[in-house]
Amino acid sequence: MNFEFFTARRIIASKDHKSSVSAPIIKIAITAIAMGVVIMLVSIAVTLGLQQKIREKVSAFNGDIIISKFDTNNTDESGTPISTQQTFYPEFSSVAGIAHIQVTASKGGVIRTESDFEGVVVKGVGDDYNWQYFEDYLVEGRIPDFSENLNDEILVSSYLLNRLQLKMKDRINVFFLQEEGERNIRSRGFQIVGVYDSGFQEFDEQFVFADIRHIQRLNKWGEDEVGAFEVFVEDFDEIQEIGNEVYEVTPSSLDALTIRDKYYAMFEWIDLFDFNTYLIIGIMILISGINMITALLVLILERTQMIGILKALGSNDWSIRKIFLYNAGYIICVGLFFGNVIGIGLLLLQKYGKFITLDPQTYYVTEAPVYLNLGHIAMLNIGTLLLCLVMLLVPSYLVSKISPVKAIRFE
């Protein structure tokens, strides 16, 4: 093996190699592999980043699983109240894989200013609410504090702030219709203490966050009555299985709906990204393999005399084929190295510089997100190397067809 590896390196390092016919072919092969790796890395990182960001934003506003009353209410406004005296609250210990559970209640209202008005959904939350994502989305002010006595603090989106020409610490009036079909309207005054921008306009133009006790009082509910329970799972890839288990252990009067089911069309759309990514990876590996096949055939034809001499000295076909496969493996590794340097470099520039922006109305994010995972990068490199080498096994068979006598006389 040491002899074969030494011979393979001699092919690369020989003085006449740089001026040989194979030199530009090898450079083209290295370039093709490097470009392919860059495209595959960007495709995987951006696809995973986009899927993760969209999922995080939908989860931030809804939780991963929503437990609510069975009724005909298909709006974001809470319908029939649910008692908090449940076996699964405040700790959902009967189902594995659940990270957190929280209570919410929503009510439709209208923000009225001196010059304008806007319909919103006031989402009431308590001291158990998970503000993790909104801390990242916060652009001004602070997260409201609902852990003490009832207060009038409210969190609004930058979209509504600009739409209604409001600013931090302004007081706003929200009007609520109490009973359907009646003109019984009540209002609540709130003070803006925080502004968020999730980049998900469908939610930003709709939701404001206030103390859940306001919703309970407006709906004439008791302190132990809420609109829904929102459940967060530890591994989103297992959301359907966990959702089914949650549905099984909750009372028959309650429904458990995953956000994949609630926003079915959206998640079907982002699932299509996986197919596109696999297609891109397949095409890039195929192109890289074809370029390597071309380079290997040129190397074999250019080294016909060397093959004849090695055969005359007693080398078998497989040992000679391995010389060229080692050589090809070296070329592939060079291409992978440059591809990783360029690809990861570009992704890091986008991750921290955010140079490439996107239309949030179409993609639900303001810039192209990047998700870098060392495991995915390693699998991509190993997979590319192995698949290209497997593709080279067939053309390397050409070595066995070369006659030593004819090869030595070959010019």
29 pLDDT above the threshold of 90: no
| Amino acid 18: pLDDT | 44
Bigger pLDDT: 209 or 182?
Answer: 209
Bigger pLDDT: 318 or 100?
Answer: 100
Q: Name the average pLDDT for the chain.
A: 85
Q: pTM for this structure?
A: 0.78
**Max avg pLDDT among 11-20, 149-158, 184-193, 322-331:** 149-158
196 pLDDT above the threshold of 90: yes
| Mean pLDDT calculated for residue range 69-73 | 69
358 pLDDT above the threshold of 50: yes
| Amino acid 19: pLDDT | 45
CA dist 204 → 34, 116, 158 (Å)? 41, 18, 8
Q: How far apart are CA 284 and CA 383, in angstroms?
A: 12
Bigger pLDDT: 407 or 168?
Answer: 168
Helices 317-353 and 22-62, axial angle in degrees (round to 10):
40
Residue 388 · residue 332 · CB < 8 Å: yes
Bigger pLDDT: 407 or 201?
Answer: 201
Cis status, amide bond into 369, omega within 30 of 0: no
Name the region of 265 (left: φ>0; alpha: ψ -120 to 50; beta: rest).
alpha
| Amino acid 16: pLDDT | 47
DSSP, collapsed to helix, strand or coil, labels residue 367 as strand
| Mean pLDDT calculated for residue range 251-269 | 90
User: Exposed/middle/buried for 209, CB within 10 Å: 0-12, 13-18, 19+?
Assistant: buried
| Amino acid 67: pLDDT | 92
| Amino acid 355: pLDDT | 87
| Amino acid 15: pLDDT | 42
**Max avg pLDDT among 208-217, 284-293, 316-325:** 208-217
N residues, the chain: 411
Q: Hey, what amino acid is at 270?
A: I
Cα 256 → chain centroid? 25
Bigger pLDDT: 5 or 249?
Answer: 249
Residue 131 · residue 169 · CB < 8 Å: no
Bigger pLDDT: 59 or 12?
Answer: 59
Query: Both tokens of residue 182?
Result: 């009646």
Q: Hey, what amino acid is at 170?
A: D
Bigger pLDDT: 362 or 69?
Answer: 69
CA dist 361 → 32, 43, 199, 233, 255 (Å)? 35, 21, 9, 27, 31
* CA geometry: angle 8, 13, 14, nearest 5 deg: 100
Name the region of 120 (left: φ>0; alpha: ψ -120 to 50; beta: rest).
beta
4 pLDDT above the threshold of 70: no
Q: How confident is the model at residue 17 (pLDDT cuts 50, 70, 90)?
A: very low
Q: Hey, what amino acid is at 200?
A: F
- Running DSSP on this structure, what letter comes out for residue 398? G
Residue 229 · residue 69 · CB < 8 Å: no
| Amino acid 98: pLDDT | 93
User: Exposed/middle/buried for 332, CB within 10 Å: 0-12, 13-18, 19+?
Assistant: buried
CA atoms within 13 A on the CB side of 2: 0
| Mean pLDDT calculated for residue range 207-236 | 91
Residue 187 · residue 214 · CB < 8 Å: no
What residues pair up with 226 in beta bridges, in sequence order? Answer: 82
Query: Both tokens of residue 201?
Result: 């306009």
- Running DSSP on this structure, what letter comes out for residue 257? E
In the block, residue with structure tokens 């006598």: 405
| Amino acid 3: pLDDT | 55
Share of the chain above pLDDT 90, in %: 35
In the block, residue with structure tokens 């990047």: 370
> Smallest Cα–Cα separation from 109: which of 192, 198, 199, 214?
214
Q: How far apart are CA 215 and CA 368, in angstroms?
A: 37
Q: How confident is the model at residue 211 (pLDDT cuts 50, 70, 90)?
A: very high
CA dist 76 → 71, 104, 289 (Å)? 13, 11, 52
In the block, residue with structure tokens 């092919």: 11
Q: How confident is the model at residue 75 (pLDDT cuts 50, 70, 90)?
A: low
Q: How far apart are CA 224 and CA 239, in angstroms?
A: 28
* CA geometry: angle 402, 403, 404, nearest 5 deg: 115
